[in-house]
Amino acid sequence: MKLIIGLGNPGKDYEQTRHNAGFWTLDQIAKGLNLEWRNSRVRNALYTKGVFNDIDILLAKPTTFMNLSGNAASALASYYKIKPTDILIVHDDMDLPCGAFSFSEGGKAAGHHGVESVYQHFPNSKIQRLRIGIGRSEHAEPGKIYVLKKPPASELKILNNTIVKAAIAIEDWVTNDIHIAMNNWNHNKKTA
């Protein structure tokens, strides 16, 4: 079984913010597979199970806030006995332009507190990630404010197209591995 965790913040106030790009991507996968979300209060996540090309997948959206995402990731991995090499974290990334996405293995959290939280729960593991580009503010706005804002319609259209492609790329990761997915999809670092 592969565990795919989308990072974001729960609640209506955050639903449409850039920081929830990980949630949006998992919602796209769940929609494509006709899956319904369930709540696990014990594991602090909304989750659903599905299959990509005969491989079981577990999709999860932590119901903790971003900075505590590692709690849910760790609880789910432990309960389902999933190795760190079978976990993919999907999250927003200001270092990639809006419309881009990129797989990575390990690497620095680059100030992303959700990624830092996951890393704390899986020390010395090369956690695999799919970074969804949200770009940076054109107005020198601090990152912590920018990520919690709703993107304008023009940017949202680009992000929605990116999310569709990212969902397809995740199927490639599930079916193959991180290195094949990187070869097949990391040319999308410019725009999707």
CA distance 183 to 169: 11
Residues 14-29 have a mean pLDDT of 96
- Assess whether pLDDT exceeds 70 at residue 165: yes
Strand partners, 2: 57
- Assess whether pLDDT exceeds 80 at residue 85: yes
Range of the domain at 48: 2-189
Q: Which pLDDT band, with edges at 50, 70 and 90, does 188 fall under?
A: low
| Radius of gyration (C-alpha) of the chain in whole angstroms | 15
Look up residue 151 and give its two tokens: 């993107």
- pLDDT at 39 (0 to 100): 92
Residue 139 appears among annotated catalytic residues: no
Write the Ramachandran bin of 179: left for phi over 0, alpha for psi from -120 to 50, otherwise beta.
alpha
CA distance 22 to 86: 17
Whole-prediction pTM value?
0.94
- Number of domains present in the structure of the chain: 1
- Assess whether pLDDT exceeds 60 at residue 77: yes
How far is residue 21 from each of residues 9, 48, 55, 175, 176, measured CA to CA in Å?
10, 18, 24, 22, 23
β-strand 38-40 against 87-93: which pairing, if any? unpaired
Report the share of the chain in percent with pLDDT over 90: 79
Residues 166-191 have a mean pLDDT of 88
- pLDDT at 108 (0 to 100): 82
The one catalytic residue in 19, 91, 112, 121 is: 19
- Assess whether pLDDT exceeds 70 at residue 64: yes
CA distance 175 to 181: 9
Residues 85-109 have a mean pLDDT of 93
What CATH number has the domain bearing residue 55?
Answer: 3.40.50.1470
Read off the pLDDT of residues 112-158 as tens digits, 9 standing for 90 and up: 889 999 999 998 788 999 999 999 888 777 888 889 899 999 999 99
